[in-house]
């Protein structure tokens, strides 16, 4: 996206559009591409499973400043790990259903690309499958605080 903005800006500069005031549109397009590219890169999250929750590969737009963005276990009502390609360790889809009614989905291929290893993608899948089998049937009660440390 940023590259597209640079191409638009360069072509406008070569045509001399900036001298007549007609360069406003290419400048707006350029700045929009920069903004979209920046927001897209801020959405990338530190993928993982933590004691207090799971970190999906991407952050919601409202949580861009959180690093890592972690969905707390009390907010997860269900984890579904579905295989769609048995011949590939990265051939699965993960769906996190949240108590708010929203869903977060990501594929094993995305996980494998992030970890740079299909064996790590397989391990992550096994971990999520194990956790899915141990989630309580009912969501955690609201207002219950999980301690930061276990002593």
> What are the tens digits of pLDDT across the range 43-96?
888 888 888 888 888 888 888 888 888 988 888 888 888 887 776 767 788 888
Looking at residues 32-43, what average pLDDT do you find? 84
Beta strands in 9-102 (DSSP E): 48-50, 53-55, 71-72, 76-83, 92-98
Lowest mean pLDDT: which of 2-16, 71-85, 105-119, 122-136? Answer: 2-16
Over residues 19-37, mean pLDDT: 75
pLDDT in tens, 90-119: 778 888 888 888 898 888 888 888 888 777
List phi, psi (to 5°) of 113: -65, -35
CA-wise closest residue to 121 among 101, 92, 142, 143 = 92
Specify the residue for token string 């899915």.
132
């Amino acid at each position: 996206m940023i590259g597209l903005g640079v191409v638009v800006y360069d072509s406008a500069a070569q045509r001399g559009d900036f001298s007549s005031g007609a360069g406003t549109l290419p400048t707006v397009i350029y700045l929009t591409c920069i903004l979209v590219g920046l927001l897209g890169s801020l959405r990338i999250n530190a993928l993982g499973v933590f004691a207090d929750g799971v970190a999906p590969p991407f952050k919601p737009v409202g949580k861009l400043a959180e690093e890592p963005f972690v969905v707390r276990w009390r907010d997860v009502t269900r984890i579904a790990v579905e295989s769609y390609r048995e011949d590939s360790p990265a051939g699965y889809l993960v769906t996190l259903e949240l108590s708010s009614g929203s869903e977060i989905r990501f594929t094993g291929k995305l996980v494998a690309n992030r970890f740079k290893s299909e064996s790590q993608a397989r391990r992550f899948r096994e971990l999520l499958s194990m956790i899915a089998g141990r989630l309580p049937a009912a969501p955690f009660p609201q207002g219950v605080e999980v301690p930061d440390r276990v002593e």
